[in-house]
Amino acid sequence: MALDYVIIGAGPAGLQLAALLEADGKRDYLLLEAADKAGAFFERYPRHRTLISINKPHTGTDDPELNLRLDWNSLLSDDPELLFTRYTGRYFPSADTMVRYLGDFAGRTGVKVRYNARVTRVGKVGDLFTVEAGGTSYTARRVVVATGVSQTYRPDIPGFELAEGYDTMSTDPRDYLDQRVLILGKGNSAFETADNLMETTTVIHVAGPSSVRLAWRTHFVGHLRAVNNNFLDTYQLKSANAILDGSVRRIERDGDGFLVTFAFSRVDEVVKELRYDRVLACTGFRFDASIFDESCRPELAINDRFPAQTEAWESVNVPGLFFAGTISQVRDFKKSTSGFIHGFRYAVRALHRILEGAPWPAEKLDVTPEAVTDAVIARVNRTSALWQQFGFLADVVTVGEDGARYHDEVPVDWFVRHGLATAGHDYRDAFVVTLEYGPDHDKVDPFDISVARIAQDTPGQAHDAAYLHPVVRHYRDGVLAATHHLAENLENRWDRPEAHVKPLAAFVARALR
């Protein structure tokens, strides 16, 4: 008999979806994991064993929803014991703690998981999938892949195979004593590696074709984080190290070392040959599609690093094949947070609602500008989902002749394409509520005091705000009709009567008039 779902991968995303299905109790599902435990990826990565996802137990509030804004590691659960903040007080916790947490989550939620069941083939005949794992064949109506980006990304550079990969290189600084080291890549893995080796190497060069992008400026947490940027000091203060902007043309052996041909971007691609004792590849990761046979091989996107997906996280070319977790970031690549636990935990909850196909959960409201405004103000000042998945998830208020309905955490692209089905409720008007940064926020240096700033709590200038703030869009008959920005606030409290509440109520009233 066919299962409703087979979920592949017992990492955070697979466990989150399985826990939601288990709590729902309506479907037959099975979670398959290649390793002998949940979260085995974190036994190996990050290589230097410190997570850059923040963990803050001391927030000054006992509101669990608000606390999730500063807890980037917990999965969603009604069990207060399954908060990651109960496991450690470290702001940047150890990866070993994550392994322990995910194991406990699997146990306490009672998810149906089979360990030591590596999936070797996924095929499809008609509407049914066949999943082969651990010597057993499973049949399922839908397959959800939550394996993460499990393979290192290998750019097309002649001689790249001579570089030591992030997955295999030594992390012991003594192994690099008095050596010249080239690190390929400009992400957090490259800079965490450089930081680890600075005391023992003679020279480190960090190289790549793109500019270094700092998370505190772009607000994308996958860009270089401050906890990993000590290396920037050593470069700018002329302390032997350097960042090379440009492209590696070729890597060759040169006696006991390597000769690297490099084209510099900043000087019209002047080409130089540089010699190193070691070349380390920290070029990121990609999705492994090798388990799929020709009957259901998903199309790939972004240099073949991720499976291409619809607004429902479904394969664009294989109906019934869905994706969850880190590999879902193709939908908001380097814009929001779908590549990280504190983002995709909410996306998985939305995926679960989409998979089940039932009307989106909704709360009834009176059809008055005051009622709609009060509901929006209450949510934007508390929600963790819209806070973490800024610009990607939205609350949606639909308004029809029979009243209004408030829907939580709807994917923006899903709503724009499909609208919302609510039992017995037809609507013409909808208000889509998001938290967003301004369109040019990554061009503003937040530490430059000479740059003009939008005054706090100033509604007339809210549309020009660069920092995170609520945005309410009015749709009529599925077409965007008007947009309202709520004014910035230093402490992210958007509830001042004159600055936030009255302007929003006036906007809603005009829209419904």
pLDDT, mean over the chain = 94
Report the pLDDT value the prediction gives residue 150, as an integer from 0 to 100.
Answer: 85
pLDDT tens, position by position, 323-355:
999 999 999 999 999 999 999 999 999 999 999
Over range 102-128, report the average pLDDT. Answer: 97
CA atoms of 166 and 161, how far apart (whole Å): 12
Q: Which phi and psi angles does 408 have, rounded to 5°?
A: -90, 140
What CA–CA distances, in Å, run from 39 to 19, 118, 231, 305, 438? 14, 14, 30, 21, 36
Higher pLDDT among residues 322 and 151, named by residue: 322
Report the pLDDT value the prediction gives residue 448, as an integer from 0 to 100.
Answer: 74
Report the pLDDT value the prediction gives residue 455, as an integer from 0 to 100.
Answer: 66
SS3 content of the chain, % helix, strand, coil (to 5): 30, 30, 40
Report the pLDDT value the prediction gives residue 178, as an integer from 0 to 100.
Answer: 97
Q: Which domains are delineated in the chain?
A: 3-151+286-356 (3.50.50.60), 160-283 (3.50.50.60), 364-512 (no CATH)
Over range 399-412, report the average pLDDT. Answer: 94
Report the pLDDT value the prediction gives residue 193, as an integer from 0 to 100.
Answer: 97
Residue 425 confidence class, pLDDT cut points 50, 70, 90: confident
H or E element: which one contains 385? Answer: helix 385-388
3-state helix/strand/coil string of 115-163: CCCCEEEEEEECCEEEEEECCEEEEEEEEEECCCCCEECCCCCCCHHHC
What is the token pair recorded at 455? 């005054």
Cβ–Cβ under 8 Å, residues 117 and 33: yes
**For residue 381, what are the contacts with CB-CB under 8 A and spacing of at least 6?**
492, 493, 494, 495
What is the token pair recorded at 207? 């190289």
pLDDT tens, position by position, 246-258:
999 999 999 999 9
Predicted structure pTM score = 0.94
Q: Indicate if the pLDDT at residue 488 is higher than 70.
A: yes
Q: Indicate if the pLDDT at residue 147 is higher than 80.
A: yes
Report the pLDDT value the prediction gives residue 268, as an integer from 0 to 100.
Answer: 73
What is the token pair recorded at 392? 């990607």
Q: Indicate if the pLDDT at residue 97 is higher than 80.
A: yes
Among 263-267, 309-313, 489-493, the least confident range = 263-267
CA atoms of 227 and 52, how far apart (whole Å): 8
Over range 288-307, report the average pLDDT. Answer: 96
pLDDT tens, position by position, 12-39:
999 999 999 999 999 999 999 999 999 9
Q: Indicate if the pLDDT at residue 88 is higher than 80.
A: yes
Higher pLDDT among residues 88 and 439, named by residue: 88
Report strand pairing: 469-476 vs 403-411: unpaired
Burial class (CB in 10 A: 0-12, 13-18, 19+), 49: middle
Report the pLDDT value the prediction gives residue 512, as an integer from 0 to 100.
Answer: 92
Strand positions, DSSP E, 146-293: 151-152, 164-165, 180-184, 203-208, 242-254, 257-264, 270-276, 278-281, 285-286
Cβ–Cβ under 8 Å, residues 145 and 307: yes
pLDDT tens, position by position, 195-248:
999 999 999 999 999 999 999 899 999 999 999 999 999 999 988 899 999 999
pLDDT tens, position by position, 436-482:
998 888 788 877 777 656 767 777 777 878 899 999 999 999 999 99
